[in-house]
Structure 1
Amino acid sequence: MYQKTIENSPGVDFNTPALRRKRSLRFLKDNLARWAVAVGGLGVIAAITLIFFYLLYEVAPLFKGAAVTPQSTWTQGVDQDNPSLYMSMEEQGEIALSINRSGVLDFRSTRTGDNNSQFFLPLPAGTEVTTLTSDPANSSLMVAGLSNGQAVVFKVVYKTSWPDDQRVITPVVEYPYGKKLLTLSDTRLSEITLADNDRQLFIAAISSGRLVATAFSKEENFLTEEVTLEQQTVTLPAIPGTPEQLKIDPDQRWLFVRMAGDEMAIINVANLDQLFLHSVTDLTVGDANITDIEFLLGGVSLLAGDSSGLISQWFMVRDDQNQWSLQRVRDFKLMDSPITIIKPEHRRKGFIAADKEGNVGVFYTAAGRALIREKLSAGGINQMAISPRSNYLLVDGQEGVEFFRVENEHPEVSFSALWQKVWYEGYEEPEYIWQSSASNNDFEPKLSLTPLSFGTLKAAFYAMLLATPLAIAGAIYTAYFMAPGMRRKVKPMIELMEALPTVILGFLAGLWLAPLIENNLPGIFALLLFVPVGILLFAFLWDSLPGKIRHAIPEGWQAALLIPVVLFSGAVAFSMNGVLEATFFAGDMRTWLTSELGIPYDQRNALVVGLAMGFAVIPSIFSIAEDAIFSVPKHLSYGSLALGATPWQTLIRVVLLTASPGIFSAVMIGMGRAVGETMIVLMATGNTPIMDANIFEGMRTLAANIAVEMPESEVGSSHYRILFLAALVLFLFTFVVNTAAEVVRHRLRKKYSSL
């Protein structure tokens, strides 16, 4: 039809070769542009989809369930008449150690049960090992209690060599304090515990139903580095029950004594000259009795298993009056049979437990999870051991010793650990905490994403609080009231602000703006009063001037007169800083906030972030909102004015309503920019993951946390994958916000398109 119209047009020949070539070239360009736009759009969608699925790929292993896989079973060397008192494995899970009552340290292959080597404890004739335990802070240091009331302290070390490029692991038994036996009592020791530090070695035991303890102060020869022990007998206070099991914490402060039944006596042994019974705590619910207690890694938390199959976690908590008490933190349920064995993991805050019926469970404390519950033996289990890497498990059961592979890479992760309050060791109550690393091996990872998400929203809120009104008000004036000549200069200058690298803004905010605000805090808040008052006062004075003077300024250029007014008002506000601080805040507003209002002040805080990031977000909101307002058809404005509406009425009731979809999109895009900002919040805040809405406190955002911790995280670790989970949360948050914004924008466009 179009072609016939062109051909039939009178007086014009549209079919000349030149015009035909021009039309063909134009059609080719249109098609190329159409395809380029389509391919580009599909490429963006494909890239975003691939990013989403890559994040899922990295995050998915966090939620993979744990599993136990049988590897081998062996019976050789298992003496049912002389069962093991203790079992363990070395780092690689290749050699198993078992210690029996005869004092034999038997090292065997975990896969085949073949003998590797044997060592013998220096036991006097006619004695046997009656009890054995390891130091909660150093599992390689052990003490064996004997039937004659003596004890021997020894250490198992595994030395690795590489002859002919083949790894050879050689177990060695060492005696750090010599082979001389330590005398604790003159009768049989039924339970024993020890704690060793640089100052002293403390050993406590139960002998014939009574508590005995001995402390050995250490003296080191500076020439030979040989350590000698000086024994000091310790008299423990009486307890209201029969002792059955005891544990001492690595700091040698608390001695926990399990008594017959369901009670725990806690003795303060920090000062050997003033020992006293601190308290007695009931550890069970109902009629259940405690069957076993064991320290978690680090010796802070105590695990108590009872006859109902329940395992409870306890640790000492200090209240507001600086009083210590043993608090029940959380419970874990294996089955309904009595718990017989509890073994902590060597490098994580997890543990394994077995009951009387041969059921075995794998648990993780901070996550509050039961990762595995399986029946691994037909009957009772004599001993268990888990490898230092927590990837192998040995079970000495009715059928012999069974060797299992454990797949449990990320036990720290659960919904409660990521998003709910968790009661961590050393804290007085449950809290939201992010602390992914520390200097010691006993550290309990705290991986809550809640403070990071809170910090992200906090930073975005204060940035948008500054940027949104300034950007939208500026866009309204520039598009609706400003003269075209001035608009052509102002709009590009504001948009040029967006090209400033955010790392520069963060650098300036951290090193220049933060100290400036700290030293001129009253002046900063005075700006909020002086600048608006100055503008209103100038407007009143301007309106009072004769028309001849006012009309000398071209219409739409009056905004230029406000530049010196704003600068002068700001200068006056800053000049009043000292007077305001001395008059209202006793000479120091920062100290006054802390002492009088209880509001802490950090130099790099949300106020600094709001100003710096608001400055970075303003161009994005301004440019899009200004285009939306300027694009409102002029006939709508002219029609409104022709019907008698004032310019302000036209702006509010016609222009802004028509442009509202674009303005809303501008705000949402600015919000997305603020949420995803990294460098400004990284450099301009204390980068502390706390949950506090205080504008004078810092925060840590999801994006900044990823930037800080990703380079130092171990690839494939829980920390590494949780950082990817944080990225996925940020991605989904942005996606949800943008989707909701698009829905609202379409509804606004549909509602006001008929104006």
Structure 2
Amino acid sequence: MNKKILKRIQRRDRIARYVITVGGMAVIFSVLLILFLIARVTVPLFQPAVAERVARFPVADQGATVMAAGLDEYRESPFVVDAGGRVQFFAPGGQPAGGELLLAPPVGAGRILAVDSGEELTFGALWDNGSMTLDQVRFPSGFDAEGRRVQSREVARLASLPPLEQGVPKQALVRRDGEERLTQVALLADNRLLIRQLVTETDLFGDSREATHLLEATGLPGEPITAMVLDTTGKNLYAGTGRGTLLHWDLSEAGAVELLDRLPAFPDGRAITSLALIFGDISLAVGDDRGGVATWFGVRDGEGVKRLQRIHVLSGHRRAVAGMIPSRRDKSLISFDAAGQLHMDHMTSERHLLTLSSEAPLRAGSLAPRGDGLFAVDAAGTGYLWKLRNPHPEVSWRTLFGKVWYENYDQPRYVWQSSAATEDFEPKKSLTPLIFGTLKGTFYAMLFAVPLALLGAIYTSQFGNARLRGMIKPTVEVMAAIPSVVIGFLAALWFAPLLERSVPALFLGLLLVPVFLLAAMVLWQGVRNRPLGKQLDRGVEFLLLMPVLVLAVATAITLGPMVENWLFDGNFKLWLFHEAGVRYDSRNCIVIAFALGFAVIPIIYTIAEDALSNVPQSLKAASLALGASRWQTVWRVILPSASPGIFAGTMIGFGRAIGETMIVLMATGNTPIMDWSIFNGMRPLSANIAVEIPEAPVGGTLYRILFLSAVILFTMTFILNTAAELVRQRLRKKYGRF
């Protein structure tokens, strides 16, 4: 060969090798870059909470006692309420902001004995004459002529209650439920609980009148009450005693009080020192004199009655718990002990978020409404202002992949529920049901697709003639060009309703089709040796089975209603629910098996058929020459030789099924449940991303968890493909050529 031509060929080969190498590395780099970009969005989910101390400053004048503290939405006006009823405001740096306000004392009152802090900066003040007031500190905002935001301050009196005839209580709580009810709970010196309800009642004619109910809580075990809390509507009262007994009364019915729970909170009888209701008023936080903090809520017992039960255990303190501050934005809780140490935890995730400390034991504290600030005052009159950054407290490995006991659930479960009708709902973002749904849908789809695809590939490549192969293979490959949205549309709007009307016919068809085909094969064995049979026995035998298949399906459709009337009293779905406890969903795994399997069949068939057809004819001829039958040759020679290609095609089809979005989105019902039943739907990771991402706020918890779902899907596919390639290489090495 001419040396110039040879050099030109070698030069082109080197260029091609470099281009292919660079292109391959670029593809690998692009894939890794995509994974990095996706994973980078999820990293903040697991970053710890951060607290920055903005200021430390004195808040109490000489001789003044701080009774309560508060913080506005923008962390610009921390304030304290002292025993004289003064509300003193401070700048973020700690300087007095001026404009001191006053909680006007009732007639005959002088000083405040105790303050009950409620939500939205409301304060129930117990005065020294036994009267009680409910006031709210407000920060009306507006804009000046130059467009700058201006915030003012005011105190609004919401209610005023006269003294009780029984004397001045040791502690008192007050809650207002709109304009209809005002509830006061007073703990008297003799350990009795008095409940005063002021209810506005409207008769049939629209006339309203106020009714006052004075009740006494019963069911006390004769132990001193050391802590109590009332929910925001004043309909549920909780109390704890010095011997560790927890009590719960129902005050929802005007003029009546019912003891719902009386149980020992601790087996060792430790004292309950603090109670608080978590955001939503369903879970009760309990602190004890040994530093323990736990949350409780009602769980249905065997009789269907809700009883308090300890659910979550949060980080403990070294000293007795002196108080707790629940967040009014999420399920976070701040607890502080007698030594001035603060812990911030999230109830659902049981995740310890922060540890802060003050120089002296704390007297009062308040979280900003947005949960991004904390203002606390210690016993020495020093105020501490922290800026908090805690964007994803509800996320932990346990809440993402483990069972969690959510509020109003009777046991721990895997649950995905990204939104609810109210703002106080508990986030439920377990990815386990979505991973389960992905594997479940893929399993049923592959269960339908793999046998059909492989058997079809074996027949067309080894038993069918060349002309038949030339027609069938392009037809199956064209199936891969059908858009997924079209398949999902037909599955959801045509096949699912059709299947719902004829489920018994489907199962009857699964029984009759094999029976009819076997019977036809037996008859064929008697016909194939006849002259007419020998003419047909040339690789087109399956055409004779088409009428048999149609007959079997027609028989199943005809007999289906009769079988349903005979065995299931005319309603298979109702029988399934009553007898088996299984609910039939119109969009279920049967629909997915057919729809997703239909989309996967072309990929598996094409690759498997190519692998089978590329087995050298010499191997087949040698096997037949040694006396093996055609089927023995296929089973013992062709299939092992083509196994790497068959396995690769199956794994590619598996990966296609895992990553499919539109079909499962339209035909599954998108129910994130964990049930292997073929009559239920599911929600795969891919469909969940498509459903949730349009409504997920950028940078929010849901947004980042969806990106984490994409990372998991990417990782699953990567692991699957890597394992498939390793197996394929071993098969290729074992069988020499492929």
TM-score bucket of the superposed structures, by smaller chain: over 0.9
User: Which letter maps to 2:440?
Assistant: K
Distance, in Å, in 2 between the alignment partners of 1:481 and 1:463 is: 26
Partners of 1:80 and 1:221 in 2: CA distance: 54
Q: Distance in 2 between matches of 1:551 and 1:672?
A: 43
1:592 is aligned to 2:575: yes
Alignment correspondent of 1:464? 446
Q: Classify the secondary structure of the residue corresponding to 2:290.
A: coil
Alignment partner of 1:751 is 2:731: no
Is contact 2:576–2:582 with CA below 8 Å preserved after alignment? yes
Moved more, 582-591 or 77-86: 77-86
Matched with 1:190 is 170
Question: What amino acid maps onto 1:364 in structure 2?
Answer: H
* Comparing 240-249 and 680-689, the one that deviates more: 240-249
Shift of 1:248: 2.5
Deviation digits for residues 159-208 of structure 1 (CA, Å, limit 9, x no counterpart): 1112122222212222345xx44444552233223443354232212132
One-letter amino acid matched to 1:187: G
1:736 corresponds to = 719
Which runs of structure 2 are paired with 1:240-639 in the superposition (5 Å)? 240=221, 241-250=223-232, 252-286=234-268, 288-374=270-356, 376-397=357-378, 398=380, 400-545=382-527, 547-553=530-536, 555-639=538-622
- What's 1:162 paired with? 143
CA distance in 2 between counterparts of 1:491 and 1:254 reads: 71
- CA spacing shift, 1:165–1:620, aligned 2, 3 Å: same
Residues 127 and 147, structure 1, Cα contact 8 Å, conserved in 2: yes
Query: How far apart are the structure 1 equivalents of 2:167 and 2:653?
Result: 78
1:217 Cα shift? 1.7
Moved more, 143-152 or 626-635: 143-152
- The answer to whether residue 659 in structure 2 is matched with residue 676 in structure 1 is yes
Aligned partners of 1:302 and 1:314 also within 8 Å: yes
2:590 partner amino acid: L
| 1:94–1:111 Cα contact (<8 Å) kept | no
Q: CA deviation at 1:519?
A: 0.5
Contact 2:279–2:327 (8 Å) recurs in 1: yes
Q: Of 185, 190, 201, which aligns to 1:204? A: 185
The offset of 1:26, in angstroms, is 6.8
Q: CA deviation at 1:465?
A: 0.8
Q: Which runs of 5+ in 2 are unaligned?
A: none
Which residue identity lines up with residue 188 of structure 1 in the other structure? Answer: V
| Paired letter, 1:98 | V
**Residue number among 54, 72, 77 corresponding to 2:37 in the alignment:** 54
Shift of 1:250: 4.1
Q: How much has 1:474 moved relative to structure 2?
A: 0.8
How far apart, in 2, do the equivalents of 1:543 and 1:80 lie? 110
Asked if structure 1 preserves the Cα contact closer than 8 Å seen for 2:240 and 2:273, the reply is no
* CA contact 1:130–1:147 (8 Å) conserved in 2: yes
How much does 1:726 deviate? 1.0
SS of residue matched to 1:202: strand
Contact persistence 1:149–1:207 (CA under 8 A): no
Shift of 1:101: 1.7
Task: Write the mapping of 1:132-171 to structure 2, written as runs, cut at 5 A.
Answer: 132-135=115-118, 138-163=119-144, 164-171=146-153
- Which of 43, 52, 56 aligns to 1:69? It is 52
CA RMSD of aligned residues (A): 2.4
**Could you tell me how far apart the structure 1 residues matched to 2:300 and 2:353 are?**
31
- Judging changes above 3 Å, is the alpha-carbon distance between structure 1 residues 717 and 213 closer, same or farther for their aligned structure 2 residues? same
Aligned length: 730
In structure 2, what is the Cα distance between the partners aligned to 1:194 and 1:392? Answer: 26
CA distance in 1, matches of 2:651, 2:271: 60
Query: How do residues 633-648 of structure 1 correspond to structure 2 at under 5 angstroms?
Result: 633-648=616-631
CA distance in 1, matches of 2:638, 2:219: 86
CA distance in 2, matches of 1:134, 1:609: 54
Between stretches 302-311 and 269-278, larger displacement belongs to: 269-278
Verify the 8 A CA contact 2:321 2:335 in the aligned structure 1. yes
* Counterpart secondary structure, 1:564: helix
Aligned to 2:671: 688
The 8 Å contact of residues 70 and 79 in structure 2, kept in 1 or not, is answered as yes
- After superposing the two structures, state which structure 1 stretch, 293-302 or 554-563, moved more: 554-563
Q: Tell me, in whole angstroms, the C-alpha distance in 2 between the residues paired with 1:512 and 1:493.
A: 23
Segment drifting more, 254-263 vs 733-742: 254-263
CA distance in 2 between partners of 1:543 and 1:251 (Å): 82
Once residues 209 and 71 of structure 2 are traced to their aligned partners in structure 1, the CA distance between those partners, rounded to angstroms, is 30
The more displaced of 166-175 and 225-234 is: 225-234
In the TM superposition, what is the alpha-carbon distance from 1:496 to its structure 2 partner?
0.9
SS at match of 1:499: coil
Cα distance in 2 for partners of 1:215, 1:673 equals 64
Instruction: Among all aligned residue pairs of Structure 1 and Structure 2, give the percentage whose two residues are the same amino acid.
Output: 36
Structure 2 letter corresponding to 1:385: S
Correspondence 1:231-242 to 2 at 5 A: 231-240=212-221, 241-242=223-224
Q: Which amino acid aligns with 2:307?
A: S
Q: CA deviation at 1:467?
A: 0.7
- CA distance in 2 between counterparts of 1:410 and 1:437 reads 15
Tell me how far apart the structure 1 counterparts of residues 135 and 212 of structure 2 sit (CA, whole Å).
17
Superposed CA offset, 1:703-743 (max 9, x none):
11111111111111111111111111111111111111111
State the one-letter code of the partner of 1:697. N
